[in-house]
Amino acid sequence: MAEGLGSGLQNRVQQFESAWYLNLQGKIFFMAKLFRTKDTAAMLEEAARTDGGLKRTLTVTNLVTLGIGAIVGTGIFVLTGHAAADHAGPALTISFLISALGCVLAGLCYAEFAAMIPVSGSVYSYSYATMGEFLAWFIGWDLILEYLFACSTVAVGWSGYLQNLLEGIGVVLPQSLQCSLFDHKIVNGETVHGLINFPAVCVVAIVTAFLFSSVKQSAWVNNVIVVIKVCVILLFIGFGLSYINMDNWFPYIPERIIDESGHSHFGWSGIFRGAAVVFFAYIGFDALSTTAQETRNPQRDMPRGILFSLAICALLYVAVTAVLTGIIHYSNLHVDAPIALAIDSVGEGLMWLGPFIKLGALAGLSSVILVMMLGQSRIYYAISSDGLLPGALSRVHHRSGVPRNATILASIATGTIAGLLPLTVLGELVSIGTLMAFTIVCISIIVLRKTQPALKRPFKVPLVPFVPLLGAAICLLQMVSLPWNTWVRLFIWTAVGIILYFSYGFWHSKLRKKDQDEE
């Protein structure tokens, strides 16, 4: 009897061990599926296809102007005022330099990836080749956050400049159409809430019409707009120098204060928070990498386009910020159209420049929306091409070579958010999404150097791993500087993305289906 009990117990132990082993095997197999990588050679072969895919038409000049078109706009025309008034004061110039340093380091990493893997999808595609499908989806979802809210932020800023221009000629929109339901304006000392930001929705619709044409035509429109806005910015810098009041620069770093809600402002912590807020203004070079599959010679031209546009724009940002905070005290810059306010505050001296500045700002912000929506639609296209989003988003129009369904989705999503959410919430969400994307790109360079050292690299990041690690550290430091509620919104957005992946993307993944066929 004792032997029977011992034998039964031994069988149960063996059954338990067998079930535990099978369960462990299943978990390992499932995790392996989540982190399967896309073959780099297959990605390059797919990108080289000319039948029914994106058309290679962009030159290095187009890339530089697209970069300037995306970068120069929001940081100068919109967020400069809010960041100076709320966070850094005149020391916002330091904030821009900190952001520029992080962007140069991340830009070098983007340049290596864009030259090595010249496909649409930006860091999403790079992550798929280095870190696996789940992390690629995670960063792709983060890129959607980045481009979607970037477009919406700029559209709200565009609306502020248009209303300022219209008010100058005596045209005032109904209060319900001036700002979003969750935003407000101060009119004659009274707080007024709106219903929808109608001008912001309108500009998104207009830009969508341009994007329906070929990417070459969209780039031509952008080139014209870039020339206009750079000339206007140089006029503001040149003539604004004469109206700088040096007293407005002192104290250069305002003393740190804590408001009634417990939020910190100014001081060095304010400088870093200001850097985090304005960081997303540099994402033009990030958007460039989404057009690699539409560039004639991406291995040579993508690094040049990224780094040249970034250097030009960083210089313009610092110069405009210095002049702006010199003309008008930073405490008065909590507006959506700070340069227009500075021009108006001078009076007769620069009155003639006011309309040009406002028109230049409208044109400049329009080009930012155009490039960001272009990048957003290409992210949808790339993710859909891998099966993680519905296949309709990767269909390309046979004549224009434009993914129209992806463009329509970008338009609807951007217009809805721009019409309903306030500028401050949008700006901080874009910043944290951008910083996370840059961090992952920097880390991915180190990973790919170790895992695939034999890959052809037309452009190489110098001093690896020092440069990528420093870039990632600067980005993480700025992420930590953002308010906690921005992190909460990021976690909510991420949770929605994870649910979407496991309910749709995982089961429709083309890489998963390919593995099943091979098995």
Q: Who contacts 24 (Cβ-Cβ below 8 Å, separation ≥6)?
A: none
- Tell me how many degrees the CA angle 102-106-112 measures, rounded to the nearest 5: 155
- Segment 426-444 shows an average pLDDT of 79
What are the respective helix, strand and coil percentages of the chain, to the nearest 5? 75, 5, 20
CA-to-CA separations, 202 to 196, 199, 284, in angstroms, rounded: 11, 5, 22
**Neighbour tally for 7: CB within 10 Å:** 10
H-type alpha helices, 117-178: 123-130, 133-168
Query: pTM of this prediction?
Result: 0.76
Per-range mean pLDDT, top range of 160-164, 319-323, 371-375? 319-323
Residue 173: the pLDDT is 80
Closest CA to 376 of 361, 389, 363, 364: 389
The structure tokens 């250069």 sit at: 252
Residue 326: the pLDDT is 92
Report the C-alpha gap between 26 and 339 in whole angstroms. Answer: 60
DSSP state of 119: -
Residue 55: HSE in the Cβ half-sphere, 13 Å Cα cutoff: 14
Report the C-alpha gap between 139 and 269 in whole angstroms. Answer: 28
Angle between helices 133-168 and 123-130 (to 10 degrees): 170
Tell me the pLDDT of the chain averaged across its residues: 80
Q: Each residue of 465-482: pLDDT tens digit? A: 999 999 899 888 878 877
Helix (H, G, I), strand (E, B) or coil at 58: strand
Helix (H, G, I), strand (E, B) or coil at 388: coil
Q: Each residue of 355-396: pLDDT tens digit? A: 887 788 788 788 888 888 888 898 899 899 889 999 899 888
- Token representation of residue 334: 């909590």
Report the C-alpha gap between 433 and 41 in whole angstroms. Answer: 29
Report the C-alpha gap between 367 and 226 in whole angstroms. Answer: 7
Burial of 346 (0-12, 13-18, 19+ CB in 10 A): middle
Report the C-alpha gap between 395 and 377 in whole angstroms. Answer: 11
Q: Who contacts 453 (Cβ-Cβ below 8 Å, separation ≥6)?
A: none
**Neighbour tally for 6: CB within 10 Å:** 10
Q: Higher-confidence residue: 3 or 339?
A: 339
Residue 413: the pLDDT is 92
The count of residues in the chain is: 519
Kindly tell me if the per-residue pLDDT of 121 is higher than 50: yes
Q: Who contacts 467 (Cβ-Cβ below 8 Å, separation ≥6)?
A: 105, 108, 109, 461
Can you give the C-alpha Rg of the chain in angstroms? 25
369, 158 contact by CB (below 8 A)? yes
- Segment 22-32 shows an average pLDDT of 50
The structure tokens 């912000």 sit at: 365
Kindly tell me if the per-residue pLDDT of 207 is higher than 80: yes
Report the C-alpha gap between 135 and 154 in whole angstroms. Answer: 28
Closest CA to 77 of 402, 438, 294, 362: 362
- Tell me how many degrees the CA angle 324-272-486 measures, rounded to the nearest 5: 105
Confidence of residue 22 (pLDDT cuts 50, 70, 90): very low
Element counts in the chain: helices (H) and strands (E):
21, 4
Residue 390: the pLDDT is 92
